[in-house]
């Protein structure tokens, strides 16, 4: 139990893998292409071995040699508060440069289909220099703001509740139901690490309340609730709320090939989407390589930074696979992401699987070695997300690279004292 309490972040990806991928292979071997399922099993085994070995072989003593700086508490608090200020400025710019914002339009009674389109067009469809807003929003919302808020709660700062409220609003702009997890889960992890079990209930309540609110608002029913929508317009809105075709936009429209339970009730569809869709999407990435790419590796083309550096057009595999699976939506932004090990295979083959898994393990070991509860707790979301998304975006737009920088500037006091003694002796 002591080892689990200390290294729970290391065990988290393995637990996620067991729930979302491991047992699904039993069904997959019978109903999906056997060659692809066997390849996925091989990728999983090699990746898991590399992950475990890298974590065990890299010692904290070695990590201490590359992390020899500790910022003062005053500098850390100033940085955390500055992140909140920058985030407020970013939200003002995002809303100010948008014709409509899904959250605001939902309160005005907009229909579901319009809200659905606004969710996609708020940031993802921007071009040119405005694309930077999308990346800034992702980094701040998913990494830096959760880190700042967890720091504030860990140290009981007076501005912590205000910062939390600002982040909740920012995460709700697109009415994304799961976005609130970016702060709910870090706070839950923090309170559990601090053994504040009663306080740990509050993030769960917030999670449930916000998800329920987003579900209601995104349905387009708020206008009817407040009585501002005439009956004729309500009927028109209900007609407009049908799923966009050919893109599947709700659980009830899941094609039979992706409906493992072959049932239409909402509970079965939700279970199917949680425990089957991530697995079959990973298989579909391999099918995309086999059928569309003729078995070739993309050699970094799916990583935008590498593709641009090589003077090549980036290959948006997640959108290509989504089109292959469901068809595209009106905005052309539908994506089907997969476990980072599959992305590693698609790019660089077995070498990619080994290196990606090792890099992920060393990153987690570095975070754990800081013994910083806010930093470790905040990392729960990018570490979790890597089990469903390619690793490069997690490091960049997902903000995991910023956690690495924070870890390098978060040497435990014992390390700083040891360095000081060594320096004095020399």
pLDDT tens digit string along 277-305? Answer: 899 999 999 999 999 999 999 988 888 88
Tracing tokens 């989504």 back to the chain, one arrives at 322
Residue bearing the bigger pLDDT, 409 or 419: 409
Residue 359 confidence (pLDDT): 96
Pair 407, 227: CB distance under 8 Å: no
User: Percent of the chain scored above 70 by pLDDT?
Assistant: 85
Query: Would you kindly state where each structural domain of the chain is located, as residue ranges?
Result: 1-70+276-426, 71-242
- The model's pLDDT over 112-141, given as tens digits with 9 standing for 90+, comes to 888 888 887 777 777 777 778 888 999 999
Tell me the C-alpha distance between 323 and 343, whole Å: 17
Residue 421 confidence (pLDDT): 46
Query: What residues contact residue 141 under an 8 Å CB cut-off, 6+ apart?
Result: 87, 167, 170, 171, 179, 182
Residue ranges in 155-250 assigned as alpha helix (H)? 160-172, 181-193, 201-218, 222-226, 231-240
Find the mean pLDDT for residues 171-188: 92
- H or E element, residue 366: helix 340-369
Q: Is the pLDDT of residue 43 over 90?
A: yes
Nearest partner of 246 among 320, 332, 334, 327, judged by Cα? 327
Three-class secondary structure of residue 148 per DSSP:
helix
What is this structure's pTM?
0.84
Q: Is the pLDDT of residue 242 over 70?
A: no
Q: How does the average pLDDT of the chain come out, rounded?
A: 84
In this structure, of 58-72, 105-119, 171-185, the range with the lowest mean pLDDT score is 58-72
Q: pLDDT band at 246, cuts 50/70/90? A: very low
Query: What residues contact residue 121 under an 8 Å CB cut-off, 6+ apart?
Result: 331
- The DSSP letter of residue 264 is -
How far, rounded to the nearest angstrom, does the alpha carbon of residue 276 sit from its chain's CA centroid?
18
Q: pLDDT band at 422, cuts 50/70/90? A: very low
| Residue 38: count of CB within 10 angstroms of its CB | 13
If phi > 0 it is left, if psi is from -120 to 50 it is alpha, else beta; for residue 299 that is left
CA distances for 267 relative to 112, 178, 250, 336, 339, angstroms: 22, 17, 13, 22, 24
User: Can you name the residues that pair with 70 across neighbouring β-strands?
Assistant: 410
Three-class secondary structure of residue 149 per DSSP:
helix
Tracing tokens 């988290």 back to the chain, one arrives at 12
Residue bearing the bigger pLDDT, 311 or 362: 362
Residue 184 confidence (pLDDT): 96
Pair 170, 93: CB distance under 8 Å: no
In this structure, of 207-216, 267-276, 391-400, the range with the lowest mean pLDDT score is 267-276
End-to-end CA distance of the chain: 41
Tell me the C-alpha distance between 107 and 111, whole Å: 10
Tell me the C-alpha distance between 232 and 225, whole Å: 15
For 410, list phi and psi in degrees, rounded to 5: -130, 50
- H or E element, residue 278: helix 277-291
Residue bearing the bigger pLDDT, 388 or 274: 388
Tracing tokens 């290294």 back to the chain, one arrives at 7
Residue 76 confidence (pLDDT): 87
For 314, list phi and psi in degrees, rounded to 5: -60, 140
Residue 224 confidence (pLDDT): 63
- Count the helix, strand and coil residues of the chain and give each as a percent rounded to the nearest 5: 70, 0, 30
């Amino acid at each position: 139990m002591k080892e689990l309490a200390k290294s729970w972040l290391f065990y988290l990806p393995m637990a996620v893998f067991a729930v979302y991928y491991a047992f699904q292979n039993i069904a997959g071997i019978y109903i999906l292409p056997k060659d692809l399922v066997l390849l996925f099993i091989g990728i999983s085994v090699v990746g898991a071995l590399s992950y475990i070995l890298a974590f065990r072989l890299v010692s904290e003593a070695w990590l201490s040699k590359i992390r020899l700086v500790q910022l003062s508490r005053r500098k850390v608090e100033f940085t955390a508060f500055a992140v909140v200020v920058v985030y407020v400025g970013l939200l003002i710019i995002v809303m100010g440069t948008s014709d409509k914002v899904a959250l605001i339009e939902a309160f005005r009674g907009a229909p579901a289909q319009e809200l659905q389109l606004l969710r996609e067009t708020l940031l993802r469809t921007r071009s040119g220099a405005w694309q930077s807003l999308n990346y800034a929003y992702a980094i701040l919302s998913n990494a830096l703001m959760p880190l700042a808020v967890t720091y504030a709660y860990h140290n009981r700062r007076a501005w912590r509740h205000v910062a939390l409220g600002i982040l909740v609003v920012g995460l709700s702009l697109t009415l994304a139901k799961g976005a609130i997890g970016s702060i709910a889960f870090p706070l839950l992890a923090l309170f559990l690490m601090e053994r504040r079990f009663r306080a740990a209930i509050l993030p769960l309540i917030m999670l449930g309340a916000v998800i329920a609110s987003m579900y209601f608002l995104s349905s387009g029913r708020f206008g009817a609730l407040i009585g501002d929508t005439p009956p004729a317009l309500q009927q028109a809105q209900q007609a407009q709320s049908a799923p966009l075709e050919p893109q599947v936009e709700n659980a009830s429209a899941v094609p039979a090939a992706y409906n493992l339970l072959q049932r239409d009730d909402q509970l079965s569809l939700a279970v199917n989407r949680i425990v089957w869709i991530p697995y079959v999407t990973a298989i579909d990435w391999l099918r995309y390589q086999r059928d569309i790419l003729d078995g070739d590796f993309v050699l970094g083309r799916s990583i935008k930074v590498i593709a641009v550096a090589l003077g090549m057009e980036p290959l948006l595999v997640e959108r290509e696979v989504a089109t292959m699976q469901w068809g595209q939506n009106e905005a052309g932004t539908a994506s089907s992401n997969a476990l980072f090990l599959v992305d590693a295979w698609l790019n660089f083959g077995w070498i990619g699987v080994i290196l990606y898994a090792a890099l992920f393990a060393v990153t987690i070991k570095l975070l754990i070695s800081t013994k910083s509860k806010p930093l470790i707790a905040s990392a729960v979301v990018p570490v979790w997300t890597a089990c469903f998304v390619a690793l490069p975006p997690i490091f960049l737009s997902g903000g995991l690279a910023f956690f690495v920088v924070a870890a390098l500037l978060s040497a435990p006091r014992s390390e700083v004292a040891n360095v000081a003694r060594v320096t004095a002796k020399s």
